[in-house]
Amino acid sequence: MAGKSVKTSTSKPNGHVIPFKFAKLLDPDASWDKDQLGDALHWIRQVIGLVCGLLWGAIPLVGGFWIVVFLALSSGIIYGYYAYILKVDEEEFGGHGALLQEGLFASFTLFLLLWILGYSLGHF
């Protein structure tokens, strides 16, 4: 995989910091530093946890199988995002494990909370 250059800050000539642009999320040529990529992966995973938790609770799905499905879906989306869309070099950011764990536990907690609340409030 092609490596990405590491950029520490983005600023305009007048010294103001350029705000994060959502177009960068889909740009394979964009440069990412470790914190920016970690934050992007964290928040993408939180959105996945939110959507899956609400969906699992509303359907209603029950059982440990659906926890495994969520973990596989979430990790698959994150891996596909940074490996195939952004084309980042995993070794530059600490390897597969570091990128795949980004936001995992917070997302899992949010998923469980929303799944339990959605199921309990909607079906009891």
Instruction: Specify the pTM.
Output: 0.80
More confident site: 68 or 13: 68
From 21-25, 34-38, 120-124, the region with the lowest mean pLDDT: 21-25
Mean of pLDDT values over 27-48: 91
Q: What is the pLDDT of residue 17?
A: 54
* For the chain, domain boundaries: 45-123
Q: Which residue has the higher pLDDT, 20 or 16?
A: 20
* Structure confidence by residue, pLDDT tens digits, 70-111: 999 999 999 999 989 988 888 888 877 889 999 999 999 999
Residue 93: what pLDDT?
Answer: 84
pLDDT of residue 48: 98
Query: Burial, 84: exposed, middle or buried (Cβ in 10 Å; 0-12, 13-18, 19+)?
Result: exposed
Average predicted confidence (pLDDT) for the chain: 85
| Pairwise CA distance, residues 10 & 25, whole Å | 15
Give the chain's radius of gyration (CA, Å): 17
Q: In this model, does residue 46 exceed pLDDT 80?
A: yes
